[in-house]
Amino acid sequence: MFDPFRSITCHGATAPLPVAHRRHTGGLLVTFLLLTLVLLLPAAWAVTVAIDGEDRVVLGPHYQILEDPSADMDLDAVRQSGRFTAADLGTDPNLGYTASAWWVTVALYSAQGGRRMLELPFPFLDDVRVYLVEPAGGTLLERFSAGDLRPFAERPYPHYNFVFPLQLPAGTRVDLYLRVRTQGSTTIGSAVWQPAAFQLASDNANLLLGIYFGIMVALFAYNGLLYLALRDPAYLWYVLFVSSMTLAQGAWTGLFFAYLWPNWPAWGNLAAVVGFDLAGFFGALFSRTFLDTRQFAPWTDRMLLVSAVVFAILAIGAPWWPYQFHAMVTSVTGMVFPLIAVTAGFQGLRRGGVSARFFLLAWTILLVGTVLLGARNLGLVPTNFLTRYAMQMGSALEMLLLSFALAARITDLRRQREQFKLQAHQDPLTGLANRSMLELELSATIGRIDRGQGALAVLFIDLDGFKLVNDLHGHATGDVLLKVIGQRLKQGSRVGDTVARFGGDEFVVVLEGLQDLSHVMRVAEKLIAEVSKPAIIGDLQLQVGASIGAAVYPADGAEPLSLIASADHVMYEAKRSGRGRVAAATGLAAALRTVASSGGHS
């Protein structure tokens, strides 16, 4: 067998080689083979992608890629450079923020040939160039260019994404070259579509976008009307928040550039980041107002205020700052701010209320969407359906939940007002009505009595022997005893009667709608019996009594305070006459004598 490392043929004769010569020749041959392999590797990697039989063929996994840091290479230069390297960058490659121009090439083959739609589904690319080349002779078959810095009418196909109609030859391999350069996030995913399938997919996407923006418009209108009706600033900030998010998402999808400002590419290039900045600004103001962080969470309030200032500066500075710097800062700030809002939501949740739960859930959902989008823009996570549309899905859910939160906030505020009113009119120890509430209830009761709804009496109750309990067992034990006595008085009174703690160990019971004044004395005697029962407090068995003064309206007082004063005055008569008794004021006593003498009812 022929051994190239042992011999060579010369003039038809074979002679053995010296050992040194054999080693030198073997090394040259190995080097030659390695160089040949290296030169052939790109060709081996350049897999031809057959595009027949599929509605959509994603090209990202088949890319060969070249970076042009100077951005001055043309098509001929990159074809001759031999610098393309195969790299499976996934279905939707994202290279983050970079100043370089990037070239990719893919070999395509169609046995049928005909029209195909090449789509780059990221509308924020400053400059996109497409070349279709016949590799054998280097013939340029088609050439397109587009970008979001040009008027929309200059696009080769009217679509909010970058779409290029390709005419492929039948049965011939062609090389597709893409050149992309942008100041924003360099997302260079692409797909080749059958025209009918592309149109159907576009129609479905338009339907989903229409639903999304329809939700946003409905939320804007509904809560805008509520703001006009209620004048609650939380609704104003929410409406402006929705408006800003709608602007951002409409610009981010390319939809607004296609339909609202097709001839203003400079504004279209800024609209998305400005919209996100304004959404952050109004979102921070909404959070401060909604949760009232200024009162309940001062530190978080300062963080929200700082966030609002940062977003405002970003929005104002957008036209003058480099776009790439602005977009990167907006992405980072947008990832941080929802964390602050979620923190504020947790603090609001600790205070209770259904609205805080909706708020927390809403911002948590948006936090996930914002972090995914920001990480995608920075190239930290791969671009896919979830990371690309996480902000849209998250913002739609967030806006709905925040609208529910505003509705729940009305209930929470009403409950808080009722709780405040209750605290303002409730004795903190016994839970009974306090003196202020007593006067209000007595005034309202007098109004009803004046309209002919029965008679009205007041019982003024003072405990007998309570001071001794305090002196012997302490005020803590006395407080517990007062709670027990308060509950006994409430249980011994009729449903609808007002029981109040007047102060110290003094209580007042308002008896309303009486048809029989003799009932006043029976209720008073019943209450004395209830109060006098022994009370078990810890290891102690305590017992106190009660003296009661009774007065009737209007004979003993035409005003609440005068009526109470009359009952208070005769209560001391009951104490002086032996305690544990009921004494009636002059007017009530006369009325009772009249009832007794007539044998009837008052």
Can 505 be counted among the known catalytic residues?
yes
Give the residue among 395, 462, 469, 457 at the shortest CA–CA distance from 595. Answer: 457
Q: Please give the order of strands across the beta sheet that includes 498-503.
A: 498-503, 506-514, 455-464, 545-553, 582-584
- Whether residue 457 contacts residue 552, with contact meaning beta carbons closer than 8 Å, is answered with yes
- DSSP reduced 3-state for 181: strand
Residues 255-283 as b or e (16 or more Cβ within 10 Å = b): bbbbeebbeebeebbbbbbbbbbbbbbbb
End-to-end CA distance of the chain: 140
Give the Cα separation of 555 and 195 in Å (integer).
96
Residue where the block lists tokens 């001055």 = 72
Which ranges constitute the DSSP H helices of 231-322?
233-252, 255-259, 265-291, 293-296, 298-317
- DSSP reduced 3-state for 17: coil
Taking every pair of Cα atoms in the chain, the longest distance, rounded to a whole number of angstroms, is: 162
Give the Cα separation of 545 and 527 in Å (integer).
10
Task: Name the CA radius of gyration of the chain, rounded.
Answer: 43
Catalytic residue among 464, 505, 556, 568: 505
- Taking each helix axis from N to C end, the angle separating 586-598 and 518-531, rounded to the nearest 10 degrees, works out to 120
- Whether residue 161 contacts residue 121, with contact meaning beta carbons closer than 8 Å, is answered with yes
- DSSP reduced 3-state for 175: strand
Residue type, 216: M
Query: Which active-site residues does the annotation give?
Result: 505
